[in-house]
Chains A and B, each alone.
Chain A
Amino acid sequence: MKRAAVKKLQQLPATSEWTFEAIDAYHTEIARVAGEFGLDVYPPQIELITAEQMMDAYASVGMPVNYHHWSFGKHFLTTEKGYRRGQMGLAYEIVINSNPCIAYLMEENTLTMQALVIAHAAYGHNSFFKGNYLFRTWTNADAIVDYLIFARHYIAECEERHGEEEVELLLDSCHALMNLGVDRYKRPPKLSLAKEKLRQSERTEYLQSQVNELWRTLPLHDAKPGRALRPRFPPEPEENLLYFVEKHAPLLEPWQREIVRIVRKIAQYFFPQRQTQVMNEGWACFWHYTLLNRLYDEGLLADSFMLEFLQSHTNVVYQPAYNERWYNGINPYALGFMMWQDIRRICESPTEEDRAWFPDIAGSDWHETFDFAMKNFKDESFVAQYLSPKVIRDLRLFAILDDEHESKLKVSAIHDDRGYRRVREILSDQYNLGSREPNIQVWNVDLRGDRSLTLRHQEYRRRPLGGTIDEVMKHMARLWGFTVRLETQHEDGTVELVQETRIEKRRGHPDN
């Protein structure tokens, strides 16, 4: 390896304009170094696009194809406006968790930025997608693009058959429940285009027959008085609202169930990304930093390249203090990058403190430690496991307790010996989706009565539900087709009815 570096001390092009040859040259070198570090990646596919195409990609949540919906148009307009006015730069890259791993490079970027993006996206994110357990279990990189194509065609077909309006209303409702349309604990089956098409018609027929379960309860055994023994439905609370709707909503047409399913599947696909932002971005930053520095050490990069690169890098991993104007929460890039750098430091040159806090990894081989950490954690557990006192000190982290029953805010922990564990615990909880989003599950369906559906919200730390509940409930009622109730179970165990949304017309839709 050393020999190879010595042999070709040929500097890579240092112009700011990029060419395909130059990108190829950089990519070859980056790929080589990434291989030396043992990064396991999907084959990268680098695509050059214009700013407008980048905005398109933004608008359809970063996917190369997606079905049509007004909300994507809205996102496009927002992005376009920000970009035109120069309020906002576009992201330098978008990378898609697919096999091959598609990384978009924007035409406007300088050569340095393109190299940075290749290292960041095509090797950093890519290896994370391939290795991390959440992505491995929840997403199927081989099939996602095919599935999206299937979804787009299917929805377009439905629009033709049933009218755009009808489909749009349904999609609105599904989008409103998207965040609650994921399995958190069950492992989803893998997707594939061929299988999906094959099974789709089978499934619709089967589903329609299953729904009748709800209807069938009426005539059979009304002689028996033992009502108390009647099983609950659903027997266990169901966390995945869209799944429940797809399988059990009595009035949906088969095509409507399929669309619910599509939205649910896509929500599921993005679920891991929402849970691994710090890790994933930090990982990618760590690798672009490490890979490019290695190339520089080998003498392949010009100083001008390094200066431009370091400036961008520093901007990305900057963490403003709480009282600065541009403070916008903890920057996941900054936190992630610092933590990964810190883990390497703990492995390579541990201090006494590190040995006390991290006896397992202090002084170990950092490649192995990295591999293990990248594969087996999500933000919540990653912070809980690896946030070291040094990082807490460096970022000067502190925690504030805001209890609505108290008149003042309280500083509950700072970066001192007493506070490290507390800060770590709170920060970890901040990345716990369970506490970030309200926990709402399907609690009960009144089978014998009016078929109304009851959702139950488990209150967490006395936090109430926010402003748009009645809108969301209308969407839920539209999908369910009968009255929907929302209850909150307070922490002391009492249950309170928050909202009841009735639906009068059976086949109709509630007015907006």
Chain B
Amino acid sequence: MTRIIDRRFDSKKKSAVNRQRFMRRFKQQIRRAVSDAIQDRSIRDLDNGEQISIPSKDLSEPQFQHGRGGVWEQVFSGNDQFSSGDLINRPPAGGGGRGQGKASNEGEGEDDFVFHLSREEFLDIFFDDLALPNLIRTQLAKITDYKTQRAGFTADGTPANINIIRSMRGALGRRLALGSPFTVRLRELQKELDEVVEACGEDSPEAIALREEIARVRAKIEAIPFIDSFDLRYNNRIKVPKPTTQAVMFCVMDVSGSMDEEKKATAKRFFMLLYLFLNRTYEHIEVVFIRHHTIAKEVDEDEFFHSRESGGTVVSSALKLMHEVIVSRYARGNWNIYGAQASDGDNWDNDSPICRDLLDTQILPYCQYFAYIEITPGEPQNLWREYEKLMGAHKNFAMQRIEAPADIYPVFRELFKKTLV
């Protein structure tokens, strides 16, 4: 008795639990890999999963095994040149697949263990690092919000959506259209009848015949259905992405000699988080990268994060440039302007008051939000002290000193609070 069973529609993802356990167990390694991956990513690119590789030795499953050495005597196939007693030089170490019968077990050898993280998993780890609260996590990880809105009428739908006025109007029109030949005929007959009655009297055979004819036509008109499924109209609702506008995000970063790679990496996360946040709120986002040491320059993302320059620091140069860009490109039209500035706080002393002034008068009035992070383990620098004075005056200004990526989130607290309510 044989059975052929179709299991294709059985529950899928049988291994999902095992996969989660794997992820949990190697969280450390995976997190490290994610943070490496962030280095190579564009800050706009947060909607994809990631290819993660972790060293395979970390996740080996140990067993008692023979090591190399001692005496091995093995059989090979395809002899083409040897006869018994031949002596051969040892092949160079690692060369040739002289595996020990378990070669097929782990064909990977010493390579890293590579696997793919989904977008959710990737963001989860990214948020983990930034110590984002759960509610905000879910808010950010969602892709787009839709709202339903009316969009005219359709000929099919659910009974709950029937539009009565439309349907009745249609029915009326149909009745008129279908009935019109008969109405005309009816009118003619009526007229004829009137004439016949006039001429021959009520009960003449012609009059009777005409009356019968009239009754027949009436019956035909009445046979036209009052309402037909053909007449029904339904309210149409469609899903549209939430009305969004455009935003521009300014990334301002100090690239003077004192900003090392690690600080830049922290800054990058800060920018990424802001981007992610904006991405959720606005449909279209432009990003302007401004880097500065003593002179500011607008650059593309690659140059922004990767090229390295040294020298002194004049922060106001960047703010001036930002102002110019705002005025020339984003002042007109409905651009929501966001600014994010990252620096190690080291500024030329006389420049800091100028910066505060620039922000106060020329930038903050245009901005929805401006966030400043100072990446430094030490004492606050002069720029910080100047900026502090702005805190009371502007609600759309936030600043935070950062040592680790987990400190970034408080900067956004206000921002998130605003949109979550």
A468:B65 contact, CB within 8 angstroms? yes
A73:B62 contact, CB within 8 angstroms? no
Is B61's CB within 8 Å of the partner chain A?
A: yes
A258 → B minimal CB distance (Å)? 20
A67 → B minimal CB distance (Å)? 10
Is A180's CB within 8 Å of the partner chain B?
A: yes
A396:B71 contact, CB within 8 angstroms? no
Chain B 49-92 per-residue mask, 1 if CB under 8 angstroms from chain A, else 0: 00000000001111111111111111111111011111111100
Contacts A168-B25, A180-B64 given; indicate if A27 touches B4 (C-beta within 8 A).
yes
Question: In the complex the two chains form, what is the Cα distance from A412 to B97 in whole Å?
Answer: 20
Contact of B97 among A81, A179, A327, A468 (CB under 8 A): A327
Best-buried of B5, B66, B80, B88 by chain A (most CB within 10 Å): B66
Which of B9-17, B135-143, B325-333 forms part of the interface with chain A? B9-17
B104:A53 contact, CB within 8 angstroms? no
Question: In the complex the two chains form, what is the Cα distance from A426 to B75 in whole Å?
Answer: 7
Contact of B73 among A59, A72, A104, A400 (CB under 8 A): A400
Best-buried of A43, A56, A104 by chain B (most CB within 10 Å): A56
B83:A411 contact, CB within 8 angstroms? yes
Contact of B8 among A48, A76, A329, A413 (CB under 8 A): A48
Contact of B74 among A68, A400, A471 (CB under 8 A): A400
A280 → B minimal CB distance (Å)? 15
Contact of B89 among A53, A180, A409 (CB under 8 A): A409
Is A176's CB within 8 Å of the partner chain B?
A: yes
Residues of A within 8 A of B19 (CB): 73, 76-77
Is A227's CB within 8 Å of the partner chain B?
A: no
Contacts A53-B8, A71-B61 given; indicate if A399 touches B73 (C-beta within 8 A).
yes
Is A299's CB within 8 Å of the partner chain B?
A: no
A74:B59 contact, CB within 8 angstroms? yes
Is A80's CB within 8 Å of the partner chain B?
A: yes
Residues of A within 8 A of B6 (CB): 20, 47-48
Chain A 379-419 per-residue mask, 1 if CB under 8 angstroms from chain B, else 0: 00000000000000001111111111001111111111011
Contact of B83 among A70, A180, A414, A468 (CB under 8 A): A414
A138 → B minimal CB distance (Å)? 20
Is B108's CB within 8 Å of the partner chain A?
A: yes
Contacts A78-B108, A175-B61 given; indicate if A45 touches B2 (C-beta within 8 A).
yes
Residues of A within 8 A of B76 (CB): 322, 327, 330, 397-400
Interface residues of A in 8-55 (CB under 8 A from B): 20, 23-24, 27, 31, 43-50, 52-53, 55
Residue in chain A with minimal CB distance to B76: A322
B75:A24 contact, CB within 8 angstroms? no
Contacts A176-B62, A430-B101, A466-B66 given; indicate if A412 touches B3 (C-beta within 8 A).
no
Interface residues of A in 150-190 (CB under 8 A from B): 164, 168, 172, 175-180
Residue in chain B with minimal CB distance to A424: B75
Is A298's CB within 8 Å of the partner chain B?
A: no
A151 → B minimal CB distance (Å)? 15
B65 → A minimal CB distance (Å)? 4
Interface residues of A in 66-103 (CB under 8 A from B): 68-74, 76-78, 80-81, 84, 100
Residue in chain B with minimal CB distance to A241: B64
A404:B78 contact, CB within 8 angstroms? no
Is A224's CB within 8 Å of the partner chain B?
A: no
Question: In the complex the two chains form, what is the Cα distance from A324 to B74 in whole Å?
Answer: 17
Is B103's CB within 8 Å of the partner chain A?
A: yes
Is A245's CB within 8 Å of the partner chain B?
A: no
Question: In the complex the two chains form, what is the Cα distance from A80 to B18 in whole Å?
Answer: 13
Interface residues of B in 344-383 (CB under 8 A from A): none
8 residue pairs A–B, Cβ–Cβ below 8 Å? A46-B3, A47-B5, A68-B18, A72-B15, A172-B61, A319-B77, A329-B99, A412-B73
List residues of chain A with CB under 8 Å of any chain B CB. Answer: 20, 23-24, 27, 31, 43-50, 52-53, 55-56, 59-60, 68-74, 76-78, 80-81, 84, 100, 104, 107, 164, 168, 172, 175-180, 319-324, 327-330, 395-404, 407-416, 418-419, 423, 426-427, 429-430, 436-438, 440, 459-469, 471-472, 475
